[in-house]
Amino acid sequence: MIDRAKVWTGSINEQALEPQPRGTVGLYDTTLRDGEQTVGVVLGPEDKLELARALDDAGIDRIEAGFPRVSEDDYQAVQLIAGAGLRAEVWGFSRAVQADVGALVELGVSASVIESPISDGKLAALGVSRETMLERIREAVSFATGNGIRVAFFGVDSSRADLEFFDRAYAAAVEAGAVEVVVVDTLGIATPEAAAFLVSRTLDRLDVPVHWHGHDDFGLGTAAAIAAVQAGATWVHGTINGMGERAGNADLVEVALALEALYGTPTRLDLTKARRLSRLVAERAGTPLPPWKAVTGDALFTRESGAVAAQFHDPPAIEPYSSELVGAERRIVLGKKSGIDSIRIVLGRLGLDVGEERHADLLAAVKRLGTQKRGLVSDEELRRLAEEQASD
């Protein structure tokens, strides 16, 4: 649980949200499978092992090691991760196909998601009837559980499924031996209210833990995940940096911080390692982050505005939570939007002895250079400007 003294969000959330569920929410990471479906991303077996170890170190509860039937590399990655002695549970991924499950049995994977499309649109695209799909679900889940695999049934496109068939599909999976189920917003179309509705409906009908797996096509990935938790989901799926197909998956780091800081709902993620983990994933995947990205973006605790620099000494005045919570550093940078306080703070950081009577002229020079460059003024450039000013 995070240090509440380092969260500066005021009292309105607490007043609006009480009462709130307080049970710890499990984080299920699918960066190595769903995240790798990001266009152009290829993670080799050793990359995935390195990332799995970093996920484990950060406190992720469950790591989906991959879909071994996709390729020999994926098979090898699952094998490496399953044998790495991680504290996190290592999960596999399989379609409702016996050969897929067979690969997991060969690898000795003890737990797996088993997926099957359940919306009429998906079934029509595959040319498969509802009854045939129900039979495939039963057979695959029974085969897996008969071979000692703990199964969470994953109803693909469940957020667009006919509700009567939604109920039948999940019930069939549980009757066949699935001990957990995943409500899946495959195309990211569920509003937070719809996510809560589907999770509540599932919990009303089945006595098993319910997961939420959502995407971000409408920018609601984090909000839908939070709503699912409020409705009773005890596991949230997602990826680091929100990687994934199309607009990506829910970002697990964002979800964890929102749950803890805004809702008072604990997770086991060590948020002080969030930025390091985010950068490692971005580097290995070759997918740079926008600097303004929530929680992990470079600009989150960086200030250029002179008006904000004037309050830099008082973090709660200009930030919603302490940079320490996510292992970040606060800093002032210089450019077109800087002010006198910006100059004073940066000169102090660099140990440059420039009298206050010269600060205004130095600020004017910084603003000119920043405008000319259409960017920031570096420390070296500030030193040069100060030297030029002193020699005039």
The residues near 27 (Cβ < 8 Å, ≥ 6 apart) are 59, 60, 61, 62, 235, 236, 238, 252, 255, 256, 267, 268, 269
**Distance set, CA 361 to CA 290, 309, 382 (Å):** 33, 18, 12
Residues 72 and 192 in one domain: yes
Count: domains in the chain = 2
Give the per-residue pLDDT at 14. 86
Residue 84 inside a domain? The answer is: yes
Give the per-residue pLDDT at 392. 66
**With b meaning 16 or more CB within 10 Å and e meaning fewer, what string describes 186-196?**
bbbbbebebbb
The stretches in the chain having pLDDT less than 50 are none
What is the H or E stretch that residue 190 is in?
A: none
Give the per-residue pLDDT at 215. 98
Q: Do 215 and 185 meet the contact criterion of CB atoms below 8 Å apart?
A: yes
For residue 52, which of 21, 22, 24, 83 has the smallest C-alpha distance? 83
Q: 185-233, pLDDT tens digit by residue?
A: 999 999 999 999 999 999 999 999 999 999 999 999 999 999 999 999 9
Residues 80 and 189 in one domain: yes
Residue 365 inside a domain? The answer is: yes
Chain position carrying tokens 């699912």: 228
Q: What residues make up the domain containing 364?
A: 302-391
What is the H or E stretch that residue 237 is in?
A: strand 235-238
Omega before 21 cis (within 30°)? no
- Of 219, 254, 285, which closes a domain? 285
Residues 145 and 273 in one domain: yes
Distance (Å, whole) CA 75 – CA 104: 9
Residue 113 inside a domain? The answer is: yes
Distance (Å, whole) CA 99 – CA 330: 52
Residues 224 and 306 in one domain: no
Residues 62 and 168 in one domain: yes
Residue 295 inside a domain? The answer is: no
For residue 254, which of 5, 27, 15 has the smallest C-alpha distance? 27
Distance (Å, whole) CA 196 – CA 211: 11
Residue 64: give its domain's CATH number: 3.20.20.70
Vertex 38 angle, CA 231 and 82, to 5° = 75
Residues 364 and 230 in one domain: no
Q: 116-145, pLDDT tens digit by residue?
A: 999 999 999 999 999 999 999 999 999 999
Residues 314 and 265 in one domain: no
Residues 239 and 311 in one domain: no
Residues 253 and 310 in one domain: no
Residue 64 per-residue DSSP state: E
Distance (Å, whole) CA 133 – CA 140: 11
Residues 178 and 318 in one domain: no
Q: Do 291 and 297 meet the contact criterion of CB atoms below 8 Å apart?
A: yes
The residues near 272 (Cβ < 8 Å, ≥ 6 apart) are 324, 325, 326, 327
Nearest-10 crossing angle of helices 221-230, 192-205 = 30
Residues 281 and 306 in one domain: no
Distance (Å, whole) CA 293 – CA 72: 34
Nearest-10 crossing angle of helices 72-82, 45-58 = 40
Residue 292 inside a domain? The answer is: no
2: burial class by Cβ within 10 Å (0-12, 13-18, 19+)? buried
The model's pTM is 0.94
- DSSP letters of 292-328? T-TTT-TTTTEE--HHHHTTTT-HHHH-SB-GGGGT-
Phi, psi (5° rounding) for residue 142?
A: -60, -40
What is the H or E stretch that residue 154 is in?
A: strand 150-156
Alpha carbon 243 to chain centroid, angstroms:
8
Residues 175 and 254 in one domain: yes
Give the per-residue pLDDT at 32. 98
Residue 354 inside a domain? The answer is: yes
Q: What is the largest CA-CA distance in the chain?
A: 86
Give the per-residue pLDDT at 391. 76
Give the per-residue pLDDT at 389. 82
Q: 233-244, pLDDT tens digit by residue?
A: 999 999 999 999
